[in-house]
Amino acid sequence: METKIKIIIFVFAGLLLAGCSQKQPVISQSATIIFKTPVMKFYDKGFVTHYDDYIHLQILNIGKVVLDLKIYEDEICQGTLQCINGKEFNAKYLNKDYKDNFMMNLFKKDKVYFKDKENNILIKVKKDK
pLDDT per residue as tens digits for the range 32-58: 999 999 999 999 999 999 999 999 999
Cβ atoms of residues 108 and 55 within 8 Å: yes
In this predicted structure, what is the pLDDT of residue 27? 78
In a domain, 9, yes or no: no
Distances (CA, A) of 39 to 17, 72, 109, 111: 41, 21, 24, 24
The answer to whether position 18 is within a domain reads no
Residue 16 in domain: no
Per-residue pLDDT, 8: 58
Identify the domain containing residue 43 by its residue range.
23-127
Mean pLDDT of 81-93: 92
**DSSP-based three-state secondary structure for 95:** coil
Does 15 fall in a domain? no
**What is the value of pTM for the model shown?**
0.76
The number of folded domains in the chain is: 1
Does any domain span residue 33?
yes
Residue 109 within any structural domain of the chain:
yes
